[in-house]
Amino acid sequence: MLKHIHHIAYTVDDIEKAIIVFRDVFELEFVGRRTIEGPRSFEMATFRIGPSFIELMQPINYPDLEKFLKDNGPGLNHVAFAVKNLDENIEKLREKGIYIKEPGAFIAGTGWKIANFDFDKCDLPYFESKYHNDHLAAIDDDE
């Protein structure tokens, strides 16, 4: 069911500095940079590493990310696991006692189709964080 890591997200306090580290020091392919606007706004930069992405997030108006930085400093925020046929696999997971939060799979502000585990209904402590939980992300059949 889980094919690979879709993305690893880091919360950063200086996105310019973080871009230099991932692009120039580690020579990762820079995919792009944009601002995600909405009730939770943040600056995002994305890099490709094999079939996966690294996502950098610097909060603009995003209380959970701001608290993450205050409590932990910059660092790993969450992991998203790549899944083909996301909707179909959500149903398979439910049959195994693993539930997804409502509204189910949705398009996040990042443009990725994701599904968040419902930790109130299932026991998955390995994927749970007090700031941002690990989740599933849809991939195409050819990925």
pLDDT per position as a tens digit, 68-107:
999 999 999 999 999 999 999 999 999 999 999 999 999 9
pLDDT at 69: 96
pLDDT tens digits, one per residue of 115-128:
999 999 999 888 98
Question: CA-to-CA distance for 48 and 14, rounded, in angstroms?
Answer: 20
Number of residues in the chain:
143
The structure's pTM equals 0.91
More confident residue, 129 or 122: 122
φ and ψ at residue 123, rounded to 5 degrees? -100, 95
Domain at 2-139: CATH architecture: Roll (3.10)
Question: CA-to-CA distance for 53 and 22, rounded, in angstroms?
Answer: 11
